[in-house]
Amino acid sequence: MSSTISNVEESLQAIWAHVLNLPHVPLDQSFLSIGGDSISAMQVVGQCRKEGMSLGVQEVLRSKSITQLSAAVKEVGNSAYDHEEYFDEDFDLSPIQSLFFKRPNTNGHFNQSFYLRVARKTDAGDFQSAVQQLVTRHSMLRARFTQSPEHGWQQRLTSKSACITIYPSIFRSPHRCILSCQGM
């Protein structure tokens, strides 16, 4: 085996280490033998796409080593992650969004509640910061919908994150709270 590693091997090594939460990944071991599984293989494929490398989940799972896998890597010209978001510009709904707005009695209103149990005591500020990062990272959590007579329902993304407010729970438990997100 050559003592120098290629850029692709180096990238794959870093991605495997990140996904598997390992400090170092050897080049000559299979993904499965160092703790990988089908779910983590999907994460590897996603990370590779971000780096401009195309691989299939089965290729990751069947490879005997990073060196072998590096030969199967194809370069991706335009990554799906290389896109520009346009803020405050209306655009059409996706088909599933259109179906939602055609339902009777929605009037464009949607409310989703969920219960989140935190396993350990967490500072409200830390929790609020984590939710804020989530909203900042995922643009559809900042989507706003409007209806007009000429265009019907349209959506737009706002660059401003929602105002996140944490309220103490009515249950008086340090592990429970009510989270309110209001659009801006």
Instruction: Tell me the C-alpha distance between 164 and 34, whole Å.
Output: 40
Structure tokens at 47: 């990370």
Q: Which amino acid is at 149?
A: P
The reported pLDDT for the residue numbered 184 is: 43
Task: Tokens for 44, please give them.
Answer: 């590897």
Q: How far apart are CA 47 and CA 62, in angstroms?
A: 18
pTM, full prediction: 0.48
Domain regions of the chain by residue span: 7-75, 95-182
The matching CATH number, chosen from 2.60.40.10, 3.50.50.60, 1.10.1200.10, 3.20.20.70, for 7-75 is: 1.10.1200.10
pLDDT in tens, 79-96: 555 567 778 889 999 888
Least confident residue range of 27-36, 70-79, 108-117: 108-117
Beta-bridged to residue 146, according to DSSP, are 154
d(CA 170, CA 109): 26
Rg (CA), the chain: 22
Q: How confident is the model at residue 78 (pLDDT cuts 50, 70, 90)?
A: low
